[in-house]
Structure 1
Amino acid sequence: MPRIAIVQTNTGIDPKENAAALVAAIGEAAAGGAAMVFTPEMSGLLDRDRARAAPSLVKENEDRTLVAVREAAAAHGVWVQLGSLALRRTDPRMANRSFVIDAAGNIRARYDKMHLFDVDLPSGESWRESAAYAGGDRPVVVSTPVGRMGLSICYDMRFPDLYRALSDAGAEVLTVPAAFTRPTGAAHWHVLLRARAVEAAAFVVAAAQTGIHADGRATFGHSLVVDPWGEVLLDMGEAPGIGFAEIDPARQAEVRQRIPVLRHRRVIPAPMVIA
């Protein structure tokens, strides 16, 4: 039964410090028997001051966090899903990009966040992710030691069509690294992640940012692992740290046999609209 580790972080505004913390956490997770380690969205830098952050935002092949994590994965012989990094592209907008890295340090998959967080919250928080980022245009499924993995990031979780596409393509584990706001987290984090697990009869692994960050934002925490029946196997609360869980293929087979939702899916035509 594969063992996984979740790294729940309070990522700050110094990429060097953030990378060092990730490397240490990967070593600790590997020592704890994890076959694969999961980190949150924006693991390399979390800074909403764009002028201050600008010198640290580089292209993929120059990113120090990605280099450090690849080296750590190889050094410890463990797979890593690096939740996401903010990376420069050839055009003015950046990519919010997730990576799956194997135990030799090779990049096995990349995924750019498809749905961008452009909202005004009742708390007064206003976010315009599309002002700085370009959305991805293709879902990704990759084979890993813990099963076939469908990739997503944070706000993606509100769009079930993405997860239907991933599970139709054979995903057995759905990953949702996040930096969720506290108001939306308290309202929707648990219910949406459990729903994604149930409707796809898949494990959900959601590594999250937590606490008050150096740039002033507050994130919800509560990194979760949810099984295909919707049961929460791990909830890390609000403290930074490392948590462990097991991904049991037999449990998934049992759930998919009990309620074969994937086999029962149909192509839904456009509805008849009656005035």
Structure 2
Amino acid sequence: MTQAIKVAAIQMVSTPEVAENFASATRLVAAAAQQGAQLVLLPEYWPIMGRHERDKLAHAEADGAGPIQECMASLARQHGLWLVGGTLPLKADNPDKVLNTSLVYGPQGQRVARYDKIHLFNFVRGEENYDEARTIEYGHEVQSFEAPFGRVGLSVCYDLRFPELYRAMGECALIVMPAAFTYTTGRAHWELLLRARAIENQCYVLASAQGGEHVNGRRTWGHSMLVDPWGEIVSVLPEGEGLVIGDIDPHRLQYVRESLPALRHRKL
């Protein structure tokens, strides 16, 4: 590819009401398409942020069927773009748990990739207590897909802290990071980790976050952003619903990799 491609990260403040979140996502994907985005990323838990952690079990879909998957396929097809559907709850082998799954749809609405979140968040500090493993089953396989501009590596939220995952993807033009970082951990580490993953993998990183005060009392950090292969922030949205838009520039990618050929210098 010789021309840049425009990509967009959608930031949401999702609610316990799936219909409300569908309406928000539909509006924001349309806005991204109107601004020329050819790949759009939704945040983690975009279809539902329940009042309680078990609420998502009631909305878990079978693989390949259900209103959330139909919504994403329809949006990709309607706007003729690549849609990385943040995450949705898919049914797991354990009926008391779900898989936190990212699905990718091509411009004709066809599904092209599936990634089940491998690393599950656990954080305890004062009144903050999170343990995704109580309701989510671990994924096991590293996943990426081929887009017209190159390989796209799939990851979700807490995965960001595990650099070996990204090395296992091979050389990517873009890494996507749908997330719902807490305010506490996001303020401390979100930007640092995103820039580090971009620098060490010499690729673009597109991060789509939940960003605000949710009905369940949780506050998410936001700061959806696009980071370039040199670690520079191209665009960022601190808080609230909206879009981050920027270009994946193959010339920039090539320049960084040729001027500092760190990927070729790897010994391990």
Asked if structure 2 preserves the Cα contact closer than 8 Å seen for 1:19 and 1:64, the reply is no
| Residue 134 (str. 1) matches residue 137 (str. 2) | yes
| Residue 145 (str. 1) matches residue 148 (str. 2) | yes
| Structure 1 spans left out of the alignment, 5+ residues | 268-275
SS of match in other structure, 2:13: coil
Structure 2 CA distance for aligned equivalents of residues 79 and 137 of structure 1: 24
Residue 104 of structure 1 is matched in structure 2 by: 108
Structure 1 CA distance for aligned equivalents of residues 36 and 141 of structure 2: 33
SS of match in other structure, 1:254: helix
SS of match in other structure, 2:107: coil
Residue 176 of structure 1 is matched in structure 2 by: 177
State the AA in 2 paired with 1:261: A
Structure 2 CA distance for aligned equivalents of residues 250 and 94 of structure 1: 41
State the AA in 2 paired with 1:230: G
**Partner deviation per Cα, 1:170-212 (whole Å, 9 max, x = no partner):** 3121111100000100000000110000001010011000101
Asked if structure 2 preserves the Cα contact closer than 8 Å seen for 1:84 and 1:97, the reply is yes
180-189 or 9-18, larger mean C-alpha shift:
9-18
| Residue 57 (str. 1) matches residue 60 (str. 2) | yes
**Deviation, structure 1 residue 155:** 0.3
**Deviation, structure 1 residue 62:** 3.8
Structure 2 CA distance for aligned equivalents of residues 240 and 189 of structure 1: 18
28-37 or 54-63, larger mean C-alpha shift:
54-63
Asked if structure 1 preserves the Cα contact closer than 8 Å seen for 2:212 and 2:219, the reply is yes
Within 5 Å, which residues of 2 pair with 1:25-40? 25-40=28-43
In the alignment, which of 80, 97, 115 is matched to residue 77 of structure 1? 80
Asked if structure 1 preserves the Cα contact closer than 8 Å seen for 2:226 and 2:245, the reply is no
110-119 or 15-24, larger mean C-alpha shift:
15-24
Asked if structure 2 preserves the Cα contact closer than 8 Å seen for 1:84 and 1:96, the reply is yes
Within 5 Å, which residues of 2 pair with 1:1-275? 1-50=4-53, 52-92=55-95, 93-121=97-125, 123-166=126-169, 169-267=170-268
Structure 2 CA distance for aligned equivalents of residues 61 and 229 of structure 1: 38
Asked if structure 1 preserves the Cα contact closer than 8 Å seen for 2:90 and 2:101, the reply is yes
State the AA in 1 paired with 2:195: R
**Deviation, structure 1 residue 161:** 0.6
Structure 1 CA distance for aligned equivalents of residues 227 and 168 of structure 2: 19
Asked if structure 1 preserves the Cα contact closer than 8 Å seen for 2:56 and 2:89, the reply is no
**Runs of 4+ more than 6 Å apart:** none
Structure 2 CA distance for aligned equivalents of residues 256 and 103 of structure 1: 29
State the AA in 1 paired with 2:230: W
Asked if structure 2 preserves the Cα contact closer than 8 Å seen for 1:2 and 1:145, the reply is no
**Deviation, structure 1 residue 20:** 2.1
Aligned alpha-carbon RMSD (Å): 1.4
**Partner deviation per Cα, 1:231-270 (whole Å, 9 max, x = no partner):** 0001111121122101101101000011111111112xxx
Query: Rg larger in 1 or in 2?
Result: 1
**Deviation, structure 1 residue 112:** 0.7
State the AA in 2 paired with 1:30: A
So what's the TM-score if we normalise by structure 1? 0.92
**Partner deviation per Cα, 1:61-81 (whole Å, 9 max, x = no partner):** 343122112111101111111
Structure 2 CA distance for aligned equivalents of residues 146 and 214 of structure 1: 38
Structure 2 CA distance for aligned equivalents of residues 98 and 75 of structure 1: 20
Structure 1 CA distance for aligned equivalents of residues 147 and 239 of structure 2: 28
Aligned length: 264
Asked if structure 1 preserves the Cα contact closer than 8 Å seen for 2:54 and 2:135, the reply is no
Structure 2 CA distance for aligned equivalents of residues 192 and 50 of structure 1: 26
| Structure 2 spans left out of the alignment, 5+ residues | none
Structure 2 CA distance for aligned equivalents of residues 231 and 80 of structure 1: 24
Gap change, CA 1:239 and 1:50, over 3 Å in 2 = closer
SS of match in other structure, 2:50: coil
